[in-house]
Amino acid sequence: MRLAILAAAVAALPLAAVSAQEIGIMKVGFADLKDAAGADAGSALFRPGAEGLLVRIEASGLTPGWHGVHLHETGNCADGAEGFEGAGSHAGHGEGTPHGLLHPGGPEAGDLPNLFAAADGSAKAEFYLAGATLDTLLDADGTALVIHAQEDDHVSQPIGGAGARVSCGVLQLAQ
Ligand SMILES: [Cu+2]
């Protein structure tokens, strides 16, 4: 009898530990996207998994078709009128790795697949950033998620021919 109670207690332990330590205090990141005029352009949710970050993007106000999406190295989206240059280069740029998910020497840490916008300008997608964590993205100067005017060809330097930066959001920790 005592053995059975002990077995039941041990079996229940892992579940309790997971819910308290991993679900209860799991950090989640988000970015509110703005267009160049400062209008709301959707959002991005960053959820940490065991080996990377799952990023869900729900964007609006885009031209229909494919759009390049990248993480940029600086969490600054304050200069939409100047084309969001404050967000800097792609995350991982300057470490000697070329841009592009299809580049033989790539990709940069901030490279993501393209996002497809429907005829009404809306786009929804989930992307997985293998190896990324909220802690590394939320370094001293932060990170921005940027959507470009055109699609990323995943090979050309330095940004895959993706053109202007049309939406930008600063990664933040959800409280
Ligand atoms: Cu970019």
- What pLDDT was estimated at residue 72? 97
**Ligand 1 centroid vs 50 CA: distance in angstroms?**
26
Please choose, from the candidates 47, 27, 28, 35, the residue with its C-alpha nearest in 3D space to the C-alpha of residue 169.
35
**Ligand 1 centroid vs 164 CA: distance in angstroms?**
9
Rounded Cα gap, residues 129 and 150, in angstroms: 21
- What pLDDT was estimated at residue 25? 61
**Ligand 1 centroid vs 21 CA: distance in angstroms?**
35
- What pLDDT was estimated at residue 3? 47
Regions of the chain with pLDDT less than 70 = 1-25
Give the CATH fold of the 27-173 domain.
Immunoglobulin-like (2.60.40)
Rounded Cα gap, residues 41 and 138, in angstroms: 22
Please choose, from the candidates 105, 71, 64, 75, the residue with its C-alpha nearest in 3D space to the C-alpha of residue 91.
71
Q: pTM of this prediction? A: 0.85
Rounded Cα gap, residues 158 and 89, in angstroms: 9
- Maximum Cα interatomic distance, the chain, rounded to a whole number of Å: 73
CB 148 within 8 A of CB 68: yes
